[in-house]
Amino acid sequence: MQKTLIIVESPTKARTLSRFLGDAYDVEATMGHIKDLPKSKLGIDVENNFKPEYDLVPQRLDSIKNIKKVSKGVNEVLVATDPDREGEAIAQHIVEVVDSKAKPKRIVFHEITENAVRNALETPGKVNPHLVDAQIARRVLDRLVGYKLSPLLWKKVRRGLSAGRVQSVTVKLIVEKEREIDAFKSREYWEFFVELKEKEHGKKLTVQLIKIDDEKAVVSNEKDASNITSDLKKAIYKVGDVKTKEVVRKPLPPFTTSTMSQSAARLYFWSARKTMSVAQALYEEGLITYHRTDSFNLSKQSLLMVRGYIKKKYGDNYLPENPNYYKTKAKVAQEAHEAIRPTKVGRPFKVKNTKFKKDAEKLYLLIWKRFVASQMKPAINDETTILVNAKVGSDNAYELRVSGQIVKFDGWRILYKNDNSNGKDPLPQVKTDDLLDLIKVNPEQKFTQPPARYSEASLIKTLEKLGIGRPSTYAPIITTIQIRNYVEKREGRFKPTPVGFSVNDFLIGNFPKVFGYTFTAEMETDLDDIAQGKGKWQEMMSEFYKPFEKKLISVEKNAKRVEIKTEKVGKKCPKCKKGDQVIRIGRFGKFISCSNFPDCDFKDKYVERIGMKCPDCIKGDVIIKTTSKRRRFYGCSNYPKCKWASWRKPIKNPDKS
């Protein structure tokens, strides 16, 4: 029996394909990239048109050996790696190593379903050289920046540090935000809320002060606030106007990589890395389309499928006359051709066989709802705004306002009705010139707040807006800057470490163009042009590297060494008795050292106290330890007498704290 060999990246994807392809096909997995640049050296021949020196990945030798062996006995070899630049590069490397009489062919599909795969099998093609070139260009560019700048950081900042082209720009964003927060000066301001009731039925409403004598209400001190409060308590309240308008809320487009990561971060507090891992499992199980995409496009088949489902499930009232189309906001939408959507739409299926189980079901339902809602009619609300006039004799005149909405037609929000019930009562029925009785005046003293630090969601949104990175890079960027200890997460938001500040200041101070937002975005555009066959990657590399190399020489010669600031613990060094204990950051995270290092070599483990009593012994604070081989965990500071420990952060118990 003549067989066809199909080569993919992962065992899960191989198993999914095997379920419906039958005995005529063998499916083997490479386990990822089989060739890469060497770790021990630059691996780029700068003098020979930037030729990369690829080596076989040592961990993949068994997979390569197996694929070579299997490929000898088949009459056709098809490469079915993922439909993006990384997948295309893997495909090219497979073509180079496969030992078969039949020259390997390339097949591409954006969802792992029987129809999609069968269609791809009917039209095999060749590896796309432009996508391969774009992947090589990114890899070479990042290698040149990383391997040339890292030794410079060792000399000018500290040994063991490393630089990344896009990662450093991301750290720059976080550092700039932190300095904006540090420079922020809080201002006092007051808001006034007045509880009223209408006379006929005694129904209540709360209005907010918006104007004083036809000017915007701006109150910045307690004295003025006290005078206004006194006036509002004596005022006569009358309805000035009642305005009603129709508010149309259109559905959001289906997910892209960026918006999916943002939603999972906001709703489930997932990291971008976790979201992409769960999405990868869903894709490889054939449950969703390819998850690395910045396009809102949907196939004609999927539109027919979802419109049929909406009509059957919810009726014609919820189905627009024509499909909803969305314009992609990304500067250059590339790689995958569809938005992220379920491959079937009959109902939200229970996810089976993935290692993430409940998390996979959560993300699948999120994707399913977003896709179905995107093709439904808008939600329509009636919004009522009540303006209230308050007068105190012939002196100050105050204007107050309250707005409320009632659902006229739920539209796409029918899918989210259990998620968005706010339980608010509708506004009372009033008309112009109705008098209202005062219940209470509530003045509230407030202070302006500094800008919020970046969360994963807001950071990805900013990167996308600036054109920095692409769908496949968001998660690796955010993961890398944390692994390198340039930033840390505090209460779900990113804060630069002292090392992050120092590295950023050195790189931005000496290489402002290379790590500028505009330049980085332009490099991404150049890579997109190469992927579309509009440019040569060697020319791009030459234009970048020649001035970069000159700058490297100049900085190495003239730049001053940057010192990393340390944070004091508040204790004296127990060894030399003179220096202070300080927190330093090494390759493996934080540790305690002496401020007189290297004259004093005192060193101790760093533990982070979270200010909660142990739920077992109620004696010591719960601390974060870093001694596990797997990851950080929470344990009692009274260890080893108390062995309470948990991977999850404990919930504060008021009875034991």
Could you tell me the maximum CA-CA distance found in the chain, to the nearest angstrom? 100
Q: What is the rounded CA–CA span in Å between residue 485 and residue 1? A: 56
Q: What is the rounded CA–CA span in Å between residue 284 and residue 10? A: 8
Burial class of 406 by CB neighbour count within 10 A (0 to 12, 13 to 18, 19+): exposed
Burial class of 637 by CB neighbour count within 10 A (0 to 12, 13 to 18, 19+): middle
DSSP codes, 96-135 = HH---SSPPEE---SB-SHHHHHHHHHS-B---HHHHHHH
Q: What is the rounded CA–CA span in Å between residue 406 and residue 368? A: 27
The answer to whether the CB of 116 falls within 8 A of the CB of 337 is no
Verify cis geometry, omega within 30 degrees of 0, for the bond prior to 640: yes
Q: What is the rounded CA–CA span in Å between residue 170 and residue 422? A: 37
For residue 528, give every residue at least 6 positions away whose Cβ sits within 8 Å of its Cβ, in sequence order, or none. Answer: 134, 332, 334
Cα pseudo-dihedral 468, 472, 473, 476, rounded to 10: 160
Q: Which residue is associated with the tokens 């050292």?
A: 593
Count how many residues are written for the chain: 657
From the list 335, 267, 324, 333, the residue with the least C-alpha distance to 298 is 324
Q: Is the four-CA dihedral 293, 297, 299, 303 of positive or negative sign?
A: positive
Structure-token pair, residue 241 = 């106007």
Rg of the chain over all Cα atoms, to the nearest angstrom? 31
Indicate if 314 belongs to the active site. Answer: no
DSSP H or E segment with residue 605: strand 603-605
B/e letters for 457-486, b = 16+ CB within 10 Å, e = fewer, are bbbbbbbbebbbbbbbbbbbbbbbbeebbb
Q: What is the rounded CA–CA span in Å between residue 632 and residue 470? A: 30
Q: What is the rounded CA–CA span in Å between residue 223 and residue 488? A: 42
Count of H helices and E strands in the chain?
16, 25
The answer to whether the CB of 213 falls within 8 A of the CB of 397 is yes
Considering 290, 314, 545, 606, which one is annotated as catalytic? 290
Q: Where are the alpha helices (DSSP H) in 467-536?
A: 474-483, 498-510, 517-531
202: number of Cβ within 10 Å: 9
Q: Which residue is associated with the tokens 């960026």?
A: 258
Q: Where are the alpha helices (DSSP H) in 375-410?
A: none
- Amino acid at site 634: Y
Compute φ and ψ for 481, nearest 5 degrees.
-70, -20
The HSE-up count of residue 602 (CA atoms within 13 Å, CB side) is 20
Q: Which residue is associated with the tokens 């490469």?
A: 79
- Residues assigned a catalytic role: 290
